[in-house]
Amino acid sequence: MSVWRTSRPRPELTPGHESVGRDRREPEADPKGDSGRGEAVADIGKSITIKGDLSGDEDLVLDGRIEGRVELSDHHLTIGPNGHIQAELVAREVTINGRVVGNVTATERVEIGASGRLDGDVAAPRLLVQEGAQLNGSVTMKTSPTVAPAKRAAEKGAAPASDRPSKSPPEGPRPSL
């Protein structure tokens, strides 16, 4: 028996993933078993506490405690069942299986699992709340990030393109088809 042998088996790596001295795994809530893009997934374990801003260019699983802001604009953020998050979350997709206190913004979708709890507002084009999940806050179903420029134009006093008068066809009888 080796001095370095552990009772825990080593995880198998999927193609495209590297071992960097720690276990790397895919988000638990993803039924495909991968991040959907073949990219690496970072994992912050349940014993880790972070205070401040967190950003990155890969998918992330949070099982620890976070206070501040988490931004993964083009990636999937998963809050694991042990995750306790007090932060504003911004990502392409957000899956919540733990506890989140703060607002969540996603460009594609937000999912709150059966064990998840969100105390904050949601802004996303799609929202899935599983039976048993808790959501305390408002929901805004935004279809695209182009809503913001129209809002800014309205605040400056200029009418957005959709509110401007358009040329209408000349009056008179319509041709029959």
Confidence of residue 162 (pLDDT cuts 50, 70, 90): very low
- What band does 50 get if pLDDT is binned at 50, 70 and 90? very high
Report how far residue 25's alpha carbon sits from residue 159's, in angstroms, rounded to the nearest whole number: 48
Q: Which amino acid is it at 61?
A: V
Q: What is the pTM of this model?
A: 0.62
pLDDT at 172: 57
Distance of CA 45 to CAs 37, 42, 48, 87, 110, Å? Answer: 23, 10, 6, 17, 22
Question: What confidence tier does 4 reach under pLDDT thresholds 50, 70, 90?
Answer: very low
| pLDDT given at position 40 | 77
Closest CA to 88 of 72, 99, 101: 101
Q: Is-contact 139 127, C-beta < 8 A? A: yes
Pairwise pLDDT comparison (50 vs 33), residue with the higher score: 50
- Residue 143 is predicted with a pLDDT of 72
Residue 104 has pLDDT above 60, yes or no: yes
What is the pLDDT at residue 64?
Answer: 94
Which pLDDT belongs to residue 169? Answer: 54
pLDDT of residue 38: 55
> Does residue 68 register a pLDDT over 90?
yes
Q: How far apart are CA 118 and CA 106, in angstroms?
A: 14
CA distances from 73 to 17, 28, 56, 92, 145 (A): 21, 20, 8, 6, 12
CA 155 from chain centre, in angstroms, equals 28
CA distances from 154 to 123, 146, 165 (A): 20, 13, 15
For the chain, give the mean pLDDT. Answer: 75
pLDDT score recorded for residue 173: 62
Read off the pLDDT band of 128 (50, 70, 90): very high
- Nearest to residue 130, comparing CAs of 143, 144, 118, 142? 118
Closest CA to 36 of 22, 16, 18: 16
Higher-confidence residue: 157 or 45?
Answer: 45
